[in-house]
Amino acid sequence: MSREQKSIFQNIDWTITGLFVVLLFLGWLNIYAAVFNDEHSSIFDISQKYGKQLMWITGALLIAIVVLIIDANFFTAFPFPIYIACCLTLISVIFFGTEISGSKSWFRFGDFGLQPAEFGKFAVCLALAKYMSSLDTQMARFQTKVIAFFIILFPALIIILEKETGTALVYTAFIFVMFREGFSGNIMLGGFFTVLLLISALLVNKVVLVILLAVIAVVVAIAIWVSSRNRKKAKQFIMGVFALLVVASAGVYGVDHAFSKMAPHQKVRINVFLGKDVGKDLKKKAGYNVNQSLIAIGSGGFAGKGFLQGTQTKYNFVPEQSTDFIFCTVGEEWGFLGSAVVLFLFLALILRIIFIAERQRSSFSRIYGYGVASILFFHVTVNVGMTIGLAPVIGIPLPFFSYGGSSLWAFTILLFIFIKLDSNRLLILR
């Protein structure tokens, strides 16, 4: 309130903007390398993905400027209308969208397509920030938790209905935001152990697992009984432990049941990731992408094969090389050095966002910032983790790198709303 804004570029964080531009440029170069062919060697060739990506990038830059021009109050005032509009779009695509390889999540306009699911992220981010920053919201309250989870999970459910499970999973990233704002760490840990248990249920013999759990429960119960002075309280605890055992055992069998209801390709993917034997042919097929990806990245060596010299990506050994597996091109052509640089750039961007989020005077901006950082982090982790065999194959893009307009524009909007909020941090109180 003390200072008037002279230019939209004043007060914006140049570190984040710079990192954004660098990542965009590197992404574009790698798309060029991944789909390069001699007949269309110009990087500006519109008929090729790299030429198209340049158009998307230009669009992204325009969007960034538009976002910076829009009054910051717009984002603080209308998160819920944006959220509702977004949810409606998500639902409408199920009815009016174009079906592409099994999922109904695209609006197509000629050669170009838009995926509303990508744009859901910033809407949820805004809505969550708005809700959680309101004065009467207390994270400790049960009602708060339910509403917050609803805000997050409602669009995720719609996206699952669009059969874009990967994109829906991104919404779990908001757990970091919740945690930062006071959501119980124990619940996070509980969640972690639940996931661990469910995975174990698929890996280990169920009977053995249940017996193991029972043994642990008995040991814990005895420990409580022996160490506790208050017999009555101890009894309650022990009851709780055994109740937990019953729930866990039910979960173990439930997972198995749920697993059997899954689509075959999902089952195989999960099994391959868990390292289970799915039969040679199936494994070859399902593990093929990851295996080829590992070969491409692994063959890059320390310094890589050089720009446009990657044989594995250039000659299509790696599938989806310009989209989900774009990191292969980085690994193969730029080697360990290049991969490390890219990872550090992402880490720098994310850490910078968190740093800036922490200096916000308004909780809204801070929560929004954490949302941005969490989503970016989730994408980088799952995408890169997938290419190097550390995460299951979940088809989500690498921010700013993967070919495609929707995700690029969605990330740009997501990021620049935050930059805009930050540039106004002295003007906005909440």
Q: Is 105 in the site for other proteins (CB under 8 A)?
A: no
In the list 50, 75, 174, 176, the residue contacting other proteins (rule: CB under 8 A) is 176
Q: Which residues pair with 108 in a beta bridge?
A: 113
Asked if residues 93 and 382 have their Cβ atoms less than 8 Å apart, the reply is no
DSSP code per residue over 10-35: TT--HHHHHHHHHHHHHHHHHHHHHH
Q: How many residues touch other proteins (CB under 8 A)?
A: 46
CA–CA distance, 197 with 185 (Å, rounded to integer)? 18
Report, in Å, the least distance between residue 138 CB and other proteins.
8
DSSP code per residue over 208-261: HHHHHHHHHHHHHHHHHHHH-S-HHHHHHHHHHHHHHHHHHHHHHHHHHHHHHT
Q: Is 98 in the site for other proteins (CB under 8 A)?
A: no
Report, in Å, the least distance between residue 332 CB and other proteins.
8
CA–CA distance, 252 with 250 (Å, rounded to integer)? 5
Q: Is 49 in the site for other proteins (CB under 8 A)?
A: no
Burial (CB count <10 Å: 0-12, 13-18, 19+), residue 39 = exposed
Tokens of 123: 């809407």
Report, in Å, the least distance between residue 297 CB and other proteins.
6
In the list 155, 300, 397, 405, the residue contacting other proteins (rule: CB under 8 A) is 300
| Orientation of helix 363-387 relative to helix 116-133, angle to 10° | 140
How many H helices and E strands in the chain?
Answer: 17, 3
Q: Is 381 in the site for other proteins (CB under 8 A)?
A: yes
Q: Is 312 in the site for other proteins (CB under 8 A)?
A: yes
Report, in Å, the least distance between residue 208 CB and other proteins.
29
Q: Which amino acid makes up residue 421?
A: L
Show the site string, 113-152: x = touches other proteins by CB under 8 A, - = not: --------------------------x-------------
Structure-token match 């639902």, residue found: 91
Positions 348 through 377 that interact with other proteins (CB under 8 A):
350-351, 354, 358, 363, 366, 370, 373, 377
Q: Is 286 in the site for other proteins (CB under 8 A)?
A: no
In the list 113, 388, 392, 425, the residue contacting other proteins (rule: CB under 8 A) is 388
Q: Is 182 in the site for other proteins (CB under 8 A)?
A: yes
Report, in Å, the least distance between residue 162 CB and other proteins.
28
Please, which residue, 94 or 345, has the CB nearer to other proteins?
345
Q: Which residues pair with 100 in a beta bridge?
A: 103
Q: Is 48 in the site for other proteins (CB under 8 A)?
A: no
Positions 391 through 430 that interact with other proteins (CB under 8 A):
none
CA distances from 358 to 5, 138, 351, 369 (A): 23, 19, 11, 8
Structure-token match 């310094």, residue found: 303
Please, which residue, 107 or 336, has the CB nearer to other proteins?
336
Positions 196 through 215 that interact with other proteins (CB under 8 A):
none
Binding stretches for other proteins (CB under 8 A):
139, 176, 179-182, 185, 294-302, 309, 311-312, 315-317, 331, 335-336, 339-340, 343-344, 346-347, 350-351, 354, 358, 363, 366, 370, 373, 377, 381, 384-385, 388-390
